[in-house]
Amino acid sequence: MSEWFKLNTLISKLNTLTNTDWTKPRNCATNVTCPEVKFEEDHVLVRNNINPNVVVRFSQEEWKDLVDAIVHGEYDQHRMEEV
């Protein structure tokens, strides 16, 4: 199964995920700065595990747009340098 398919499957489940715990990437080591994400009924929260008091809130649509942009490489370093 391709990574793109897995990601789209996860995104499509956003509407059904509610009140989950904060999650972070499996490959984050202890004492390393890692993003954490929490899916709630009508929005997605993102924070840094080192400074958890600062939380960014995305609507589900904003979150889908951000993930789509990341998947399509819009934030890749070489693309950022071209702008």
Greatest alpha-carbon span in the chain = 40
Pairing of strands 55-59, 43-48: antiparallel
For residue 54, what are the domain limits?
3-82
Give 20-45 pLDDT, tens digit per residue: 588 888 888 766 788 899 998 899 99
pLDDT of 17:
44
The contacts of residue 4 (CB under 8 Å, 6+ apart) are: 71
pLDDT of 60:
93
Question: Whole-prediction pTM value?
Answer: 0.64
Answer for the pair 73, 79: CB distance below 8 angstroms, yes or no: yes
pLDDT of 68:
93
The average pLDDT across 8-15 equals 55
Question: What's the total number of domains in the chain?
Answer: 1
R_g over Cα of the chain:
14
